[in-house]
Structure 1
Amino acid sequence: MTVTVGDPNDVFCALSDARRRHVLYYLLEHDDASLDELADVISGWLTVGRGITTTPHRRNRIRTDLHHVHLPMLADFGFLEYDWESHHVELRDLSDEIQKLLVESLSVERARTTETPSPLRSQGG
């Protein structure tokens, strides 16, 4: 069954958190992953370019948040399947609309992390 855009509020709620978006970006490339694999990847992605060190504590906190909050929410919205016992995550068959939205969102996030900050932004303006 293909996941389609139902209520746009549900889609945007699911995509409103960077951890959930990054889970979906990763799964678009790999189809499935373990919880530990996602915790490693997400903790790295969320710290790169921000001057933050990925520590075991930070990685474990992200793993816990993924397990208890983000993966169940994405499963409830129908984006993925999450097995609580094996900690296996598998992307569901997403509609073209949702895939396009994710690809565009990833493009915007990549551009934002590679652009040079403007003087106004660095001064808080």
Structure 2
Amino acid sequence: MDREQSSADPTVNPGLLDDAFLALRERDRRLVLYFLLEHETASLSELADVVTAWNHATDGRVIEPRCRNQRYLRLKQLHVPHLVDADIVIHDEETDRVSLESCPEPIRELAARACAAETGP
């Protein structure tokens, strides 16, 4: 089966794509996904560091610990649970690790394309 046929595969649940689009409308969630596409798994603390740094990469200011801690809390309480609910990531609360282990291939492809479009060549 060629690539065009597989993207129209009737086994892909349209609700899955709807949930993914809703989940990925928030930039911090996309940044989490972009990082996990490269690393497959990360601690919530690592994700907070990376997302905070990426959000402040263009302004040249020193990132205060308060800013990073706020981002950590938003990831833990809002963004990661939203990605879990959309079946994009798994969050192991015991180890505080987030992984793409269960992420369906169409969502990975969507995220990879979004990353390329958002971050440039």
| Shorter-chain TM-score range | 0.7 to 0.9
Say whether residues 1:68 and 2:85 are aligned partners: no
Over residues 66-89 of structure 1, what are the superposed CA-to-partner deviations in whole Å (9 max), with x where a residue is unaligned? 000111111111111112232111
DSSP-derived class of the 1:16 partner: coil
Structure 1 distance, partners of 2:83, 2:77, is: 11
State the number of aligned residues: 109
2:66 alignment counterpart: 57
Q: Counterparts in 2 of 1:72-91, with a 5 A limit?
A: 72-91=81-100
Query: Are positions 1:92 and 2:101 aligned together?
Result: yes
RMSD over aligned Cα atoms: 1.8
Segments of structure 1 that go 5 or more residues without pairing to the other structure are 115-125
Compute the TM-score of the two structures, normalised by the length of structure 1. 0.78
- Structure 2 CA distance for aligned equivalents of residues 50 and 9 of structure 1: 33
Aligned to 2:111: 102
Q: Where does structure 1 differ by over 4 angstroms across 4 or more consecutive aligned residues?
A: none
Higher RCO structure (Cα 8 Å, ≥6 apart): 1
Q: Is contact 1:27-1:91 (8 Å) kept? A: yes
Unaligned runs of 5+ in 2: 1-11
User: Which residue does the alignment assign to 1:30?
Assistant: 39
- Aligned residue for 1:94, secondary structure, equals coil
Using the aligned pairs only, state the percent identity: 35
